[in-house]
Amino acid sequence: MQLKDTRREIKTIDLLPLINVVFLLILFVLIAGRPSTNHPSGLEVARSEIEATHQGAALSVWLKQDDVFYLSDKQPVTLGELAHLVKEKGLAAQGMPLELIADRRAHAKQLLAFRRAMARAGVGEIRLKTEIIAAASN
């Protein structure tokens, strides 16, 4: 009488391609999923104690320590050019806010001039981007 061989062959699963794919996905998420901030180097922003959720703005303007407005690290603009850009893009007509990232060493005179120029251009909301600090405990 002949008996059947009941031993099962154990097949191995090659996990190396799966590990490679997972590693590549992790790298992709770390690189592509990194939140980008439109924040120039060497700029010390104002500090605030109230935390608010960040909402993107239609246009981001930087006011550096030299009291000059910029749209990028090396492109200075005047308030007249900013007002023209706002009108050209139709930001005021759409009710879209502007974002101002101001160096805390910049003078308030420039902040007020920016507010007046944007009000004349029809902008209703300007968001000042600040650094959150921990509230002082008593």
Closest CA to 65 of 42, 81, 86, 49: 42
- Decide: 123 and 86 in contact? Cβ < 8 Å: yes
Q: Beta 98-102 vs 59-63: how paired, if at all?
A: parallel
Does residue 79 sit within a domain?
A: yes
pLDDT in tens, 49-104: 666 665 667 788 888 888 889 887 678 889 998 888 888 888 878 877 888 888 88
Domain containing residue 53: 47-132
What CATH number corresponds to the domain at position 52?
3.30.420
The answer to pTM > 0.85 is no
What total number of domains does the chain contain? 1
